[in-house]
Amino acid sequence: MEKLFFLIFAVIAIVSAIGVVSLRNPVHSAISLMVCFLQVAALFILLRSPFLAAVQVFIYVGAVVVLFLFAVMVLDLGKERFGGYLHHQRPIALVVVIGFVFVMGFTILHGSLDAPLGNYTEEALVKNTEIMGKLLFTKYVFPFEVVSFLLLIALIGAIVLAMKEKR
């Protein structure tokens, strides 16, 4: 049963990812990106991380895709979709991507994982969100603060960059 759902989510994710890079209208690409993010959120639930799935839906689907759509609307990019939409560097790019896929696929299929297992088994992960909250405010409190400061910098930076220049 789990395998069936994994297959459904994986196929939809790959198809919508191909849609993101191949559709000509940026609005269609953004919608396709949203579908892909939702599938990844569903895969997070299959991996027993419901909190991350919720965060994925809130931030990616709720904020990032809306921001992309907003940018497309503000900049009026839709009218430029009839021109050529691919680079002239197509052959080199395809060689690079296919080579990467072969190397990484070989590594994944022939590699083995023998690291020591942690103590968060499936039974302990019933309180997934509680464990994550405790870890965020105890063990990982320094990266947490750094990331919150980074968000503040990004907020100010985005406002400064998008501000109209004053004469």
Q: Which of residues 21-60 bind other proteins (CB under 8 A)?
A: 21, 26, 29-30, 33, 36-37, 40, 43-44, 46-49, 51-52, 55-56, 59-60
| Site size toward other proteins, by CB under 8 A | 81
Q: Which residue has the tokens 């297959």?
A: 7
- According to CB under 8 A, which one of 74, 79, 82, 142 is a site residue for other proteins? 74
Q: Is 132 in the site for other proteins (CB under 8 A)?
A: yes
Question: What's the start-to-end Cα distance of the chain, in Å?
Answer: 64
Report the nearest approach of other proteins to the CB of residue 30 (Å): 7
Q: Is 1 in the site for other proteins (CB under 8 A)?
A: no
Query: In this structure, are residues 70 and 27 in contact, taking their beta carbons and an 8 Å threshold?
Result: no
Q: Is 3 in the site for other proteins (CB under 8 A)?
A: yes
Question: Other C-beta atoms within 10 Å of 22: how many?
Answer: 12
Report the nearest approach of other proteins to the CB of residue 9 (Å): 9
Q: Is 123 in the site for other proteins (CB under 8 A)?
A: no
Report the nearest approach of other proteins to the CB of residue 166 (Å): 14
Query: In this structure, are residues 28 and 19 in contact, taking their beta carbons and an 8 Å threshold?
Result: yes
Interior/surface letters 72-91, b for 16+ CB within 10 angstroms, e for the rest? beeeeeeeeeeeeeeeeeee
Q: At residue 30, what is the residue type?
A: A
Q: Is 143 in the site for other proteins (CB under 8 A)?
A: yes
Q: Is 109 in the site for other proteins (CB under 8 A)?
A: yes
Q: Which is nearer to other proteins, 164 or 166 (CB)?
A: 164
- The full DSSP string for 87-134 is -S-HHHHHHHHHHHHHHHHHHHHH--------S--TTGGGGHHHHHHH
- According to CB under 8 A, which one of 79, 82, 90, 142 is a site residue for other proteins? 90
- According to CB under 8 A, which one of 79, 82, 161, 167 is a site residue for other proteins? 161
